[in-house]
Amino acid sequence: MDTKNIKISLGNYKEEIEKVFSKFEDENVSQRIYDKDFTLWSDKPTEITNRLDWLISPQETLDHLDKIDSFEKEIKSAKFTHALLLGMGGSSLAPEVFRLSFGVKKGFLDLEVLDSTNPGAVLNYANKLDPKKTLYIVSTKSGGTIETLSFFKYFFTYCKEKIGDFAGKHFIAITDPGSKLEEMAKEFKFRKIFINNPNIGGRYSVLSFFGSVPAALVGVDLKKLLFNANKVAEECKTKKNINGELGVVIGQLAKLGRDKLTFLYSEKIISFGTWVEQLIAESTGKNGVGILPVENESLENPNYYSNDRVFVYTHFKNDNLLSAKIEKLKKAGHPIIEIILKNEYDLGAEFFRWEFATAVSGWVLGIQPFDQPNVESAKIEAKAMMNSYFEKGKLPKIKASIEENGMKVYSKSKEKTLADSVNAFLKNLDNQKKYNYVSIQAYVTPTEKMSKALQTLRKKIQKKYKSAVTVGYGPRFLHSTGQLHKGDAGNGLFLQFSSENKIDAQIPNEPGMIESNFTFGTLITAQLLGDRQALLNNKRKVLTIDLGSESDKNIKKVISLV
């Protein structure tokens, strides 16, 4: 069922998909989603019936537009020029999409997003932004996310030092009612507290205060954006709709082995991929199944892909840069979903469309798409590492299996050199039935140079082994794809990179106080060790390489070995 702006090409899978879509209609799945019928996904309502208010988010936020507009005017009149959002996962990914896709309207605030505990990333924003002209947005649903609270403690202390007792007027909170952050925001006299509807999961929160307040600050026309989202929300209530079909397509194709959902975008909206990556990965990667979202991968000729791909090509009407290559993939038998947009405001529709399609894909896969049972495992292990640090004054050490040219390798295999270790690890991809994707996890300072190097490494692996390769900076990806890494069928290889922190930053024990028991460098190392242990506990194959003090030079050495 194609519409004017969505075309789905299924090739040999058409008949199979039509059967499941008929079942979708017969069982009235669309209406049952709106009726909050938890039996679509589980025999228990836990974390379902209290996670479905994203269905009413567009209208609910439209009802709050006066409040958001009034706040935005107040901020502009207070002469703020910049905003720094402190958050992780759903709280940070959506605002980043708004800033990168819409830019900054004249007279509005330039928004930056901090979602890395790497000390280099934290200090970059401390050095870059003038606290006198910066609004700090502390954004967390639970109010207890360690990364977000650490950012808040650091920047509140920094602000207090620079601007004195009025520091609180440079902070706002977006959180759920009764959270730890709400208490702190009151205690430290924040300028504003936005209390979100608590019945919305973090990754489904883009059209609530979590996404709309930062969007308003950069000058996005919320009325226009939410109107487009509302149109799709109304479509989704009908028995037979393209958004439900999309969910059936991605869910059923995953069951048939096409579980690498590859997203391609017009350059201006390429950041949308990082938002949808979290939505799909955290929602579907559990109970031994999962759809692997692949975003920002270079588009190659058909001979570089295995038969496990589905391509989603989202582009503006006047941008057909990738169309010829997409046509080749279609002819080679790969399923293609093409979505054509008029302008960036159509992203309002896309946000809701993919939330609904993801919920439907959960019904097809037989999983509950609103919980994240494996996310806690990495947090528990990281906490154990930190407890060890507080008891002994140092983090647990793991013994390097190889030390070479300033680099260290941590592996359970018996290779003697870095080259042998890397190639033996990647050779697992020869057995595509068992291992068919690589997750590159970089616990290093996110820089343009490092990002380019990681993309080069990714492309080399992809082309050599015809395997999907994803890239994520740590600990950012823990709140995005981390659930899928431990919850799916175990087909991934996990290549971790760390580096020496040449600089570090203390995390104050309390906001506004100098005393500190640990640093961001300690925290990110604990998170790496914790995630590594959680992966090993789940019987995943992991290779960890410490790039040492010359990370830019040494990542190039690793690339040359593939």
Claim to verify: residue 520 and residue 536 sit in the same structural domain: yes
- Which residue, 301, 303, 350, is CA-closest to 326? 301
The mean pLDDT value for 491-511 works out to: 96
SS (H, E, C) 425-442: HHHHHHCCCCCCEEEEEE
The mean pLDDT value for 431-457 works out to: 96
Q: Which two tokens stand for residue 142?
A: 């639970």
Claim to verify: residue 215 and residue 82 sit in the same structural domain: yes
State the pairing for strand pair 336-341/6-9: antiparallel
Residue 205 banded pLDDT, cuts 50, 70, 90? very high
pLDDT tens digits, one per residue of 249-289: 999 999 999 999 999 999 999 999 999 999 999 999 999 99
User: Does residue 1 belong to any structural domain of this protein?
Assistant: no
Measure the CA–CA gap between 434 and 492, rounded to whole angstroms: 8
User: Does residue 252 belong to any structural domain of this protein?
Assistant: yes
User: Does residue 50 belong to any structural domain of this protein?
Assistant: no
Residue 415 banded pLDDT, cuts 50, 70, 90? very high
Measure the CA–CA gap between 76 and 109, rounded to whole angstroms: 8
User: Does residue 45 belong to any structural domain of this protein?
Assistant: no
Q: Look at the pTM and tell me if it is higher than 0.85.
A: yes
Claim to verify: residue 421 and residue 485 sit in the same structural domain: yes
CA-based diameter of the chain, in Å? 67
* DSSP bridge partners of 518: 507
pLDDT at 537 over 60: yes
Domain end, chosen from 194, 220, 246, is at 220
The mean pLDDT value for 413-440 works out to: 96
For residues 393 and 379, the answer to whether their CB atoms sit within 8 Å is no
Burial of 77 (0-12, 13-18, 19+ CB in 10 A): exposed
pLDDT tens digits, one per residue of 456-499: 999 999 999 999 999 999 999 999 999 999 999 999 999 999 99
Helix residue spans in 367-427 (DSSP H): 375-392, 418-426
Claim to verify: residue 190 and residue 292 sit in the same structural domain: no
Angle between the N-to-C axes of helices 146-163 and 119-128, in degrees from 0 to 180, rounded to the nearest 10:
30
pLDDT of 237 reads: 97
Give how many domains the chain has, as a whole number: 3
Mapping DSSP to helix (H, G, I), strand (E, B) and coil, where does residue 196 land? coil
Look over the chain and give the mean of its residue pLDDT values, rounded to a whole number.
96
Claim to verify: residue 191 and residue 236 sit in the same structural domain: no
CATH of the domain at 90: 3.40.50.10490
pLDDT at 542 over 70: yes
Q: How many CA atoms lie within 13 A of 245 on its CB side?
A: 20
Claim to verify: residue 144 and residue 213 sit in the same structural domain: yes
- Which residue, 432, 504, 448, is CA-closest to 154? 504
User: Does residue 370 belong to any structural domain of this protein?
Assistant: no
pLDDT of 4 reads: 79
Q: Which two tokens stand for residue 500?
A: 């020496």
SS (H, E, C) 523-546: HHHHHHHHHHHHHHHCCCEEEEEE
pLDDT tens digits, one per residue of 228-248: 999 999 999 999 999 999 999
Claim to verify: residue 491 and residue 525 sit in the same structural domain: yes
Q: Is the peptide bond before 302 cis (omega within 30 degrees of 0)?
A: no
pLDDT at 1 over 70: no
Q: Transcribe 207-249 into DSSP letters.
A: TSHHHHHHHHHHT--HHHHHHHHHHHHHHTTSSS-HHHHHHHH
pLDDT at 3 over 80: no
Cβ–Cβ contacts within 10 Å for residue 413, how many?
12
User: Does residue 380 belong to any structural domain of this protein?
Assistant: yes
Claim to verify: residue 239 and residue 297 sit in the same structural domain: yes
Claim to verify: residue 154 and residue 238 sit in the same structural domain: no
List Cβ neighbours of 541 (8 Å cut-off, separation of 6 or more). 425, 428, 435, 492, 493, 494
Burial of 198 (0-12, 13-18, 19+ CB in 10 A): middle
| Phi, psi torsion values for 82, nearest 5 degrees | -135, 155
Instruction: Write b or e for each residue in 228-262: b if 16 or more Cβ atoms lie within 10 A of its Cβ, otherwise e.
Output: bbbebbebbeeeebbbbbbbbbbbbbbbeebbbbb
Claim to verify: residue 126 and residue 244 sit in the same structural domain: no
Claim to verify: residue 478 and residue 496 sit in the same structural domain: yes
pLDDT at 332 over 60: yes
Measure the CA–CA gap between 438 and 481, rounded to whole angstroms: 12
Residue 144 banded pLDDT, cuts 50, 70, 90? confident
User: Does residue 501 belong to any structural domain of this protein?
Assistant: yes
User: Does residue 123 belong to any structural domain of this protein?
Assistant: yes
Domain end, chosen from 220, 247, 270, is at 220
pLDDT of 531 reads: 96
Domain end, chosen from 333, 365, 397, is at 365
pLDDT of 343 reads: 97
Q: Which domain holds residue 305?
A: 6-35+227-365
pLDDT of 544 reads: 98
The mean pLDDT value for 100-113 works out to: 98
pLDDT tens digits, one per residue of 110-134: 999 999 999 999 999 999 999 999 9
pLDDT tens digits, one per residue of 8-42: 999 999 999 999 999 999 999 999 999 999 999 99
pLDDT at 213 over 80: yes
Claim to verify: residue 351 and residue 429 sit in the same structural domain: no
Residue 2 banded pLDDT, cuts 50, 70, 90? low
Measure the CA–CA gap between 407 and 392, rounded to whole angstroms: 26
